[in-house]
C-alpha cells in the first residue's frame, strides 16, 4: 500500500525539529440504510456524526515508540515484552500508516483518546484508525488525502471484521454523507437539513459475529431480502438529499423490520425504536452490525428534545441529538 513517490523519512532527524505534538481527529458515523446487505454488494447510506470524535496526538520521544490509550488505561512499546494485547490494533495502525506513506516511524509517542463508544455501531474503530493516520502523517509534515486515510483504515477494518464493506472508513475519512456500494468509489451526497436522535442500548458483540449470524439469511435463500434492502437504500438517499424527513423515517422503519428478520436486532433495540416513535420520531432503526449498540431515529427539529428525554427515561445508556452537520441540538 505504499504511496508512490513518498521518500523514507528519518524520524530521528524529524523529531529534532519538532517541539509540540501534532494532533488530529476523526468523526463517528451512523448508517441510515443498508447495513449487512452492504457486505453483499447492496447500497448503503451513511452519515457522519461530527460531534463524536476520536483524537490522536503524536509527539517526539527520546527513544523507541510508545502507544498510550488513557481511555483503556493502557500503554506500552510495540514489540517489547508485556505489550498490552488491547493496544495491538493501534500498533497495526502505525504499521499500516508507515507502509502506506513509506515512512519509518521511530522515536515517537502516539496517544489516542475517543468520545465514540466502542462496539456500538458508530464506527469507533474506523475513526481511531483515521485519527491516528492523520496525526502520524501530520507529525511527518505530510498532508494525508482522505482517500489514503480511508484505505489505511480499511486495512485495519479487515483485521477486526474479516469482510467489511468499506462504508465506515469512507464516511469517517471524508466526513461526508455517502451513498456507498462495495467495490465502487463512494458517491458523496449533499443532504438536506435533517435531525436525528441516537441512543445506546448497550454493548454489542463483535461485528464479525453479527455478519456471520446474518449470512444464513442473506445468502441465496435471502435474495428477496437483499433486493428489499437495495430498494430501501436507493429511496433513502433520495429522501436524504431532498431533506424529506417523513419519507426517510418510513424507510428507516422498513429497514429495521428487515434487520429484525435477519436476526441482528435485539429486544432492547426494538424497545428503544418503539419508544422513539411513540415520542414523535418519524422512524427509527439500529445502526451498525446490531446485537446491541446504538439506534438512530429521524425526527423533526421541534420533537428532538421530547424524543431524547423519552429515550433517556426508558434507560438508554447514552442519548445524542444531532443534525447532519454534527451540530448538537441539545
- For the ranges 78-82, 163-167, 250-254, 285-289, which has the lowest average pLDDT? 163-167
pLDDT attached to residue 219: 61
**CATH number of the domain residue 299 falls in:** 3.30.70.890
pLDDT in tens, 195-254: 999 999 998 878 778 877 777 677 654 577 899 999 999 999 999 999 999 999 999 999
Query: What's the number of domains the chain is made of?
Result: 2
Q: Do 246 and 150 share a structural domain?
A: no
Q: Do 318 and 253 share a structural domain?
A: yes
| Residue 168 annotated as catalytic | yes
pLDDT in tens, 159-169: 877 778 889 99
71, 106, 143, 168: which one is catalytic? Answer: 168
- For residue 314, give Cα distances in angstroms to 268, 291, 318, 329, 330: 10, 18, 11, 20, 18
pLDDT attached to residue 20: 55
Q: Do 153 and 18 share a structural domain?
A: yes
pLDDT attached to residue 12: 43
Give the residue with greater pLDDT, 224 vs 52: 52
At 16, is the pLDDT very low, low, confident or very high (cuts 50, 70, 90)? very low
**CATH number of the domain residue 65 falls in:** 3.30.230.10
Q: Do 198 and 145 share a structural domain?
A: no
Q: Do 200 and 142 share a structural domain?
A: no
Q: Do 262 and 205 share a structural domain?
A: yes
pLDDT at 8 over 50: no
Q: Do 314 and 200 share a structural domain?
A: yes
Distance CA 275, CA 150 (A): 35
pLDDT attached to residue 220: 53
With beta carbons less than 8 A apart as the criterion, state whether 316 and 199 touch.
Answer: yes
Residue 198 falls inside a structural domain? yes
- For residue 151, what are the domain limits? 11-180
pLDDT at 11 over 50: no
With beta carbons less than 8 A apart as the criterion, state whether 46 and 152 touch.
Answer: no
At 91, is the pLDDT very low, low, confident or very high (cuts 50, 70, 90)? very high
- Which of 180, 200, 220 finishes a domain? 180
Give the residue with greater pLDDT, 32 vs 2: 32
Residue 187 falls inside a structural domain? no
Q: Do 223 and 248 share a structural domain?
A: yes
Q: Do 204 and 91 share a structural domain?
A: no
Q: Do 175 and 28 share a structural domain?
A: yes
With beta carbons less than 8 A apart as the criterion, state whether 110 and 90 touch.
Answer: yes
pLDDT at 50 over 80: yes
Q: Which residue is listed with cell 524520524?
A: 11
Of 100, 99, 181, 114, residue with least CA distance to 144: 100
Q: Do 130 and 88 share a structural domain?
A: yes
Q: Do 209 and 232 share a structural domain?
A: yes
Helix axis angle, 245-262 to 267-278, nearest 10°: 160
Residue 329 falls inside a structural domain? no
Q: What does pTM read for this prediction? A: 0.88
pLDDT at 13 over 80: no
Residue 4 falls inside a structural domain? no
Residue 6 falls inside a structural domain? no
Rg (CA), the chain: 20
Residue 277 falls inside a structural domain? yes
Look over the chain and give the mean of its residue pLDDT values, rounded to a whole number.
89
Amino acid at each position: 500500500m505504499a504511496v508512490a513517490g513518498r521518500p523514507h523519512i528519518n524520524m530521528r532527524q524529524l523529531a529534532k525539529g519538532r517541539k509540540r505534538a501534532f494532533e488530529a481527529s476523526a468523526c463517528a458515523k451512523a448508517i441510515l440504510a443498508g447495513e449487512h446487505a452492504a457486505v453483499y454488494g447492496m447500497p448503503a447510506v451513511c452519515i457522519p456524526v461530527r460531534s463524536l470524535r476520536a483524537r490522536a496526538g503524536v509527539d517526539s520521544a527520546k527513544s523507541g515508540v510508545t502507544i498510550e490509550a488513557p481511555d483503556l488505561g493502557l500503554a506500552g512499546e510495540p514489540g517489547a515484552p508485556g505489550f498490552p494485547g488491547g493496544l495491538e490494533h493501534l500498533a497495526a495502525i502505525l504499521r499500516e500508516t508507515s507502509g502506506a506513506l513509506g515512512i519509518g516511524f521511530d522515536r515517537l509517542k502516539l496517544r489516542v483518546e475517543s468520545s465514540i463508544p466502542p462496539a456500538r455501531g458508530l464506527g469507533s474503530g474506523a475513526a481511531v484508525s483515521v485519527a491516528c493516520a492523520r496525526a502520524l502523517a501530520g507529525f511527518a509534515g505530510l498532508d494525508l488525502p482522505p482517500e489514503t486515510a480511508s484505505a489505511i483504515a480499511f486495512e485495519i477494518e479487515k483485521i477486526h471484521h474479516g469482510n467489511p464493506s468499506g462504508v465506515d472508513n469512507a464516511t469517517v475519512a471524508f466526513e461526508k454523507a455517502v451513498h456507498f456500494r462495495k467495490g465502487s468509489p463512494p458517491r458523496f451526497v449533499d443532504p438536506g437539513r435533517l435531525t436525528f436522535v441516537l441512543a445506546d442500548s448497550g454493548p454489542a458483540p463483535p461485528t464479525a459475529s453479527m455478519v456471520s449470524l446474518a449470512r444464513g439469511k442473506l445468502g441465496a435463500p435471502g435474495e428477496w431480502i437483499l433486493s428489499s434492502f437495495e430498494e430501501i437504500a436507493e429511496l433513502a438517499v433520495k429522501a436524504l438529499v431532498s431533506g424529506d424527513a417523513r419519507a426517510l423515517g418510513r424507510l428507516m422503519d422498513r429497514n429495521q423490520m428487515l434487520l429484525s428478520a435477519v436476526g441482528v436486532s435485539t429486544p432492547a433495540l426494538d424497545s428503544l425504536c418503539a419508544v422513539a416513535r411513540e415520542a414523535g420520531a418519524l422512524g427509527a432503526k439500529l445502526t451498525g452490525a446490531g446485537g446491541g449498540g446504538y439506534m438512530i431515529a429521524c425526527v423533526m427539529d421541534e420533537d428532538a428534545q421530547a424524543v431524547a428525554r423519552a429515550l433517556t427515561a426508558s434507560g438508554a445508556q447514552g442519548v445524542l441529538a444531532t443534525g447532519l452537520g454534527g451540530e448538537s441540538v441539545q
